[in-house]
Amino acid sequence: MQAIMKIAFTTLGCKLNFAESSALGKALIERGHTKAKQGEEADICIINTCTVTDAADHKDRQMIHRIRRQNPKAILIVTGCYAQLKPGEIAQIEGVDYVLGQDEKFNLPDFIEKIEKSEFSHQHSDIFISPIREVEDFHGAYSKDDRTRCFLKVQDGCNYFCSYCTIPLARGKSRNPSIASLVAQAQEALNGGAKEIILSGVNIGDFGRSTGEHFIDLLRALDALDGDYRIRISSCEPNLLSDEIIDFVAGSTHFAPHFHIPLQSGSNAVLKIMGRRYTRELFAERVAHIKSVMPHAFIGVDCMVGVRGETTECWADYVDFIEQLPVSQLHVFTYSERANTRMLEMDLYVVPQKERERRSKQLHAISAQKTEAFYKEHEGYQALVLWESSKKDGLMYGFTENYIKVSCPYDRAKVNTFERITVPPLH
């Protein structure tokens, strides 16, 4: 093998994938390898995939073909959730050399050391996959690609097995590291210049299952770190987002008034079909409590449309509920049938594909209205913005603590700094 290999990572899907790719990239660089520059042909291409929907699978396949065309001589390794669930399907794609499962992904530095590139030929695809139910190790990660923002992996896997979802099959059971180790990683990120930490995972509210600790204790420990920084909580299940957590965020020094909560459906009948662990009434209570203690909080909501059993009556009930919720934005997913899920075994009404698309557009329109209303409500609001390094048309951008995107003329001295501003009118 060459002493130094040029490595190129391509990551699709969630922020958890990005954090893991960043950690693996760091490990490879520590082994002496280098990161291929933009437009430079790599020796090894690694694609970290997503499989949350059929559309995600399609994007994965498109990316595999594109990367192979751009790097015809490179060793091409596919890993991630799609690789864990459908390794045989990926192995049949022309140009794929290795398929690595979720656990094998974290042995990537050692795996690459074993590859003798000088003797390598693209003859066939080799698959290395461990049964996901046997995976117990937690592999820590945090992203460092963006100096301003750091995605810290605090939890992995899920024990919920909702009827429509394959993530537990791709990620395994819920597991986490110790609070002490996460505090150390967070402090390292802050020492490296990060100003914002986003807590990431599959089901982060379930933190503590491996160590006997609790999510609220993790929040308290991170809030006690020294420095000028803020923390955001990524998606947290409504049944795990307790009033204690909400009240803590409201009174904390560093946590942002920003929540992302999966709803998935506003119909109790559909929530039951999905196997969700809450009712819409509990969801509404969580939102109301957030707004009562943090009136300016940004609340994002995951919404799925077109699942089996979502009749016309259920849909009307769903829309009515969403329209009344005082939330800031909807993250809309269109349901697609996933193999090995319980929903496919149920004798339920199947929403036609065109109707799924229509429902998605309807929720996107409602989301746009809610976001515009949230922005207008905060015109003139005194907020703390963290300026980012990206530059477009002479402007730089940043987000306030409650996730309002603002801009100003580019000033290099402001990059990665906080500034107190008055939120301008919506253009």
The CATH homologous superfamily of the domain defined by 6-130: Methylthiotransferase, N-terminal domain (3.40.50.12160)
Strand, helix or coil for residue 397: strand
Closest to 140 (Cα-Cα) out of 184, 81, 205: 184
pLDDT given for residue 426 in this prediction: 77
Each residue's pLDDT tens digit, 353-379: 999 999 999 999 999 999 999 999 999
Residue 1 has pLDDT above 50, yes or no: no
**pLDDT classification of 125: cutoffs 50, 70, 90:** confident
User: To the nearest 5 percent, what fractions of the chain are helix, strand and coil?
Assistant: 40, 20, 40
Which pair of tokens denotes residue 178? 């110790």
Averaged over 205-209, what is the pLDDT? Answer: 95
Decide which of 284 and 54 is more confident: 284
Element housing 303 (H / E): strand 298-305
Range in 100-114, 121-135, 246-260, 395-409 the model is least confident about: 121-135
pTM score of the predicted model: 0.92
- Sort 191 into a burial class: Cβ within 10 Å, 0-12 / 13-18 / 19+: exposed
Residue 46 has pLDDT above 70, yes or no: yes
Averaged over 275-290, what is the pLDDT? Answer: 98
- Sort 269 into a burial class: Cβ within 10 Å, 0-12 / 13-18 / 19+: middle
Strand, helix or coil for residue 386: strand
Q: How far is CA 86 from CA 14, 271, 342, in A?
A: 18, 28, 18
Cα 218 to chain centroid, rounded: 19
pLDDT given for residue 3 in this prediction: 58
- Residues composing the chain: 427
- Number of Cβ within a 10 Å radius of residue 145: 15
Closest to 207 (Cα-Cα) out of 197, 198, 216: 216
Please state the domain extents for the chain: 6-130, 136-256, 382-422
**pLDDT classification of 145: cutoffs 50, 70, 90:** low
pLDDT given for residue 131 in this prediction: 86
pLDDT given for residue 123 in this prediction: 63
pLDDT given for residue 340 in this prediction: 92
Each residue's pLDDT tens digit, 162-198: 999 999 999 999 999 999 999 999 999 999 999 999 9
Residue 309 has pLDDT above 90, yes or no: yes
Residue 320 has pLDDT above 50, yes or no: yes
pLDDT given for residue 147 in this prediction: 67
Range in 22-36, 125-139, 228-242 the model is least confident about: 125-139
Q: What is the rounded average pLDDT for all residues in the chain? A: 93
Closest to 142 (Cα-Cα) out of 210, 231, 275: 231
Element housing 215 (H / E): helix 215-223
pLDDT given for residue 121 in this prediction: 58
Residue 82 has pLDDT above 70, yes or no: yes
Range in 118-127, 217-226, 418-427 the model is least confident about: 118-127
Architecture of domain 136-256: 2-Layer Sandwich (3.30)
pLDDT given for residue 4 in this prediction: 83
Decide which of 375 and 55 is more confident: 375
Q: How far is CA 337 from CA 87, 94, 133, 213, in A?
A: 18, 26, 22, 36
Averaged over 284-292, what is the pLDDT? Answer: 98
